[in-house]
Amino acid sequence: MNRFTTLLVLTLTWVAASLTTLPLATTAHAQQLAIRGEILHTMAGPAITDGVVLSSNGRITAVGPASDITIPDSYEVVYAAVVTPGLVDAHTVVGLAGYLNQPQDQDQVERSGPVQPELRAIDAYNPREALVEWVRGFGVTTMHTGHGPGVLVSGQTMIVKTVGNDVAEAVIDPATMVAVTLGNGARESGAKPPGSRSKMIAMLRTELIKAQEYAEKRDTAEEGKEPARNLRLEAFAQVLSGEMKLLVTVERANDILTVLRLAEEFGIDIVLDSAAEAYLVTDQIKAAGVPVITHPTMARHGGERENATFEAARHLRDAGIPFALQSGFEAYVPKTRVILFEAAIAAANGLSFDEALASITINAARLLGIADRVGSLEVGKDADFALYDGDPFEYTTHAVGVVIDGHVVSQEVR
């Protein structure tokens, strides 16, 4: 019996039960929830048919077949055909970039200078941005967002939940990576630096050396004789110490190899971002132990992405390189992609269903270092769920509900 037939049969047998389903609106402030799914994709093991997840006070307390779990009378129950962990977008600029595409809601790139690692994402993130609500409606509960491609060093990134009226309610990690762009995306025109790839690397190397010297002076200085604070060098010092990684947006194979050499030279942790030609240098990436947040599957294949492929994720999978999918940076209105759709296309171009779902759940969480909280349905993890009325990767399927930290935060059918 194939996946579609299984869903159809289960749906027909659940009609009576669904008639008694509580409206999602009634659970908006529930602290004790039971999510019952015809198919439960836990991402911690095989899918469970007729499964139940219990949550209390924002955490998962039980997961398993309905026959093994007793739902307490005090729990409010929500039914869905398919339940997955809340989706994790491994890289986006949503919350800094807004849907209006006007200067007042475009804070993802500061173009007054080529090197600004001190710019904090937490100072620009807007949790009330309509794009946050939009992607959440498709099941995205966690995002790695912040400053994006466009200049050599655009600023810092952060990890948030797609909830909250202020950034303090949303933030998981306020300073995750420093965003770097290499290639044409960072090139300045005229006499402004950087105008070439060698200049880009020279500028990065110079700043890292300065940061090394700054950190040594700061750490060895006598009390009262510390060097004056330098926010730029402090940010790079955090990269050198491993407190933050470099997120390097790069496309061409030769640029990828340059980045790997730079990382080895300074002993820093990097994550390759987009990396359209990564499939040409998989041996070197694997040997370096560097993960990849691959470009959106449907990203436009032009410019430095002229050699991109729909099978990018499959190539990384075959090479044994850790990877995740992203919505990335979208220059056109409405300013974002939806990772659910990107994963669906990846599933049609070399990934299995489970691999594609993992790339936007547990594998994305592992790459970002937050797998202890999100990415799978396991006891003790955050109660983040995405609910669908069918196979999440089918065109005709709708997202029917989203739960974050045990609260139903979306009930719109999309």
Structural domains counted in the chain? 2
In a domain, 253, yes or no: yes
Residue 29 — pLDDT band, cuts 50, 70, 90? low
In this structure, the answer to whether residues 113 and 190 fall within a common structural domain is: yes
Q: What is the pLDDT of residue 333?
A: 76
DSSP collapsed to 3 states, 319-380? HCCCEECCCECCCCCCCCCCHHHHHHHHHCCCCCHHHHHHCCCHHHHHHHCCCCCCCCCCCC
Q: Which range, of 101-105, 138-142, 233-237, 347-351, averages the lowest pLDDT?
A: 101-105
Name the residue range of residue 328's domain. 88-368
Predicted pLDDT at 150: 94
Residues 306 and 385 placed together within one structural domain of the fold: no
Determine the pLDDT at residue 332. Answer: 80
**pLDDT at residue 111 greater than cutoff 90:** yes
Residues 193 and 327 in one domain: yes
Q: Is the pLDDT of residue 17 over 90?
A: no
| Residue 11 confidence (pLDDT) above 80 | no
Could you tell me which residues are beta bridge partners of residue 84?
Answer: 386
**Would you state the pLDDT for residue 30?**
56
The pLDDT value recorded for residue 285 is 98
> 51: domain CATH number?
2.30.40.10
The answer to whether 294 and 316 have CB atoms below 8 angstroms apart is: yes
276 part of a folded domain: yes
CA 313 to chain centroid, in Å, comes to 15
DSSP state, 196?
S
- Identify whether residues 69 and 124 lie together within a single domain: no
pLDDT of amino acid 27:
40
pLDDT at residue 369 greater than cutoff 70:
yes
38 and 101 co-located in one domain:
no
Each residue's pLDDT tens digit, 37-56: 999 999 999 999 999 999 99
Query: pLDDT, tens digit, for every residue of 124-149?
Result: 999 999 999 999 999 999 999 999 99
193 and 337, same domain (yes or no):
yes
Q: Say yes or no to pLDDT of 5 above 60.
A: no
Mean of pLDDT values over 383-387: 98
Is residue 373 in a domain? Answer: no
**Secondary-structure breakdown of the chain: helix, strand, coil percentages, each rounded to the nearest 5:** 30, 25, 45
Tokens describing residue 88: 């994790």
Residue 180 pLDDT class (50, 70, 90 cuts): very high
pLDDT for res 233 = 98
Q: Based on the domain organization, do 352 and 384 belong to the same domain?
A: no
Q: Give yes or no: residues 321 and 304 share one domain.
A: yes
Q: Sign of torsion, CA 291 158 335 400?
A: positive
Q: Does residue 26 carry a pLDDT above 80?
A: no
Residues 78 and 150 in one domain: no
Asked if residue 279 is part of any domain, the answer here is yes
Strand 323-324 and strand 385-388: pairing?
unpaired
Per-residue confidence (pLDDT) for residue 18, from 0 to 100: 39
Q: Phi/psi at 181 (nearest 5 deg)? A: -125, 130
Across residues 253-272, what is the average pLDDT?
98
- The arithmetic mean of pLDDT across residues 252-259, rounded, is 98
Determine the angle formed by the axes of helices 231-241 and 197-220, rounding to 10 degrees: 90
